[in-house]
Structure 1
Amino acid sequence: MMRIGLLETGAPPESLQPAFGRYGGMFQTLLGGDHQYTVYDVQAGQLPGAPGEQDAYLITGSSAGVYDDLAWIAPLMDFLRAAKGQAALVGVCFGHQVMAQAFGGQVVKSDKGWGVGLHRYEVARPQAWTDAPSVAIPASHQDQVVVLPPATTVIGGSPFTPYGLLSYDDAPAISMQFHPEFDPAYAAALIEARRGSRYSDEQADAALATLQAPNDRLRVGGWIRSFLRQASGDQA
């Protein structure tokens, strides 16, 4: 049984939490019950006391930007730098971005605008933990990694998000811009909650239409589990 720390850097809109829960719970459902989970409310200042508290850490999505002047972001980056090589790391959306920024890359608010709905990502460099040439996964982001950190491999991406799936060459660490934890019902509810504020009606309708297609979120959940098994073996 692996000890996994869920670094919760954001939360769903309060109106959606009764139906869908929080992001830590979504990842526990995705990754399965054969692990021991601890959730850290990073925005409230909760971080592990030392990297060795857990075997692995997963950094969730957030509505914040890594460049925002928020008191919890710099301590999170410090922790990630300390944990790199000491525990396996998995970053998702904001987690993908904050890992890149902490490890020497750059993240910006992209002039491409919002990426939302079901996006397809090509796997350009297959790994032992991947098992498909491409995956279609819900996305919800405006920020993007635009400069890679040192010692990274671009595993996959899309025309909209070229650096969509990264692996770090010098530590057991991977990150992804898309959201395998979003089931279609939650992805649709989130779009509706942001209709008229973050997205126009036209953008919302187009994104909702894409969510009717089959998606590979459970496959990518399997990728994360496979990566964590391999990382655990490497560290043993």
Structure 2
Amino acid sequence: MVDRAGTLVRDAFEQPTSNVETKSSNTDLVTETDKAVEELLIRGLSKEFPDHKFIGEESVSGGQKVELTDAPTWIIDPIDGTTNFVHRIPLIGICVGLAIKKQLRAGIVYNPITRELFSAQKGKGAFKNGFPIHVSKTEACSNAVVVTQIGSIRTPEMMNSFVQSFNSVIGDKQAHAHRAFGSAAINMVYVAQGSIDAYVEYGLHCWDIAAAAMILKEAGKPFNLMGRTVLCAGTPSLAKELSSALTHVEMETEGDAIQED
């Protein structure tokens, strides 16, 4: 099913233009492909699992409430990195996570352009195209490749926090390198495979990170999916050093939090 969604996205990506709309702001984009992919995934999963529930980015944008219950729930972002998709930057992810009793059980992040398929099931490890992956062992910020990213929320508080944190991590702490890939899911699975050492962002939603969080956990890094903030690193010492250097922004939770057992 994710393969079929990938074909749809890849075909649209190869076209010269997309029908682009804005949602909450002109930095929050949606295309007809986002909507078509989510519809395809929900329709297919509903046929296989008629009693399961869904939280989908475009469904929520259309007015559906974010509600996580004990029932098996699929958490879907049809295209994480829509701005990349619109501008034909090949860093995007089709994200499908499964939570049962508010605990993540499985996750898939598929980049149909590069054909990278990241997957994980609880207790079975994390994989990329069938091969095991693991987080890095980098412990100091001075040796780390760090992703810091500003999302669609551009309030003065958010912008000030981003600039101050960037200066602290990249300037004061002298991080080895900085990157930003434009997709929360891609950022997280790259931490999972050890390509980057840490990633921090504020203002995310559960569909941005649920699938990748399962992969990251199975790749060797515990996670906390509380609220709308992500700070993940390959080692606890690196996470602690980064946390102390960041200017944090308090974010309200969005529905019930996914729990970790």
TM more than 0.5: no
What is the TM-score with the length of structure 2 in the denominator?
0.28
